[in-house]
Chain A
Amino acid sequence: MLIFNIASGNYDVRGNTSSRGDELDAVITALNMLIEELKAKNELKSGSNN
């Protein structure tokens, strides 16, 4: 499940959205974009620690 993957630090997962674009798709879309931001910030942090 998407939330559990994020909580585990797995930022390579993405949720699937439908073509409806409804509230559920909005939540999944926001989560997907947040995962991308977290992944990028995590990679930046890892790079600066090396």
Chain B
Amino acid sequence: MNLNPAATTNTDMTTYDKHVTDTVDIWLDENGIIWMVDHKGAEERIEHARENVATVWKASGGIKRPVLIDIRQLKSITREAREYYAGEEVANFGSSVALLTSSPATKVIGNFFLKFNKPTLPFRIFTSELEAVHWLKGFI
């Protein structure tokens, strides 16, 4: 099941205000969840992380919300960017984070982030969009 509203036919004509940065697309869905979806082959560095977090805050309307980060198309991320995403500044912008992975390489990135960078927000890794959204709804 694909819950990604940007990837499905929008039958109720709801419009999602999609923000596009150098590495990700970001939008707020009807559940109050922020989606941050990596572009194909994205290579995230610290400047991208800062831009993405600022854009998440803009898309969330200045409210701490659960965030679904879809890294299924991410190619790489630097240590500085990982540290930034795991840091206190980001903890002020979100209530929880679900990381969506698929390939062995993205699973490695997710697990590495969890074990080495130790995010301070409630954080879980998923391979199912449905399960990720279900878990995040508990933080709305």
Contacts and interface: CB of A to CB of B under 8 A. Distances in A.
Interface string A18-31: 01111101100110
Interface size band for A: 10 to 19
B77 to A, nearest CB: 8
B116 interface: yes
A33 B107 CA distance: 13
Interface string B93-105: 0000000001111
Given A33-B109, A37-B116, A21 B103 contact: yes
B79 A22 contact: no
Given A19-B41, A30-B112, A36 B78 contact: yes
A23 B107 CA distance: 10
Contacts of A37: 79, 116
Interface of A: 17, 19-23, 25-26, 29-30, 32-33, 36-37, 40
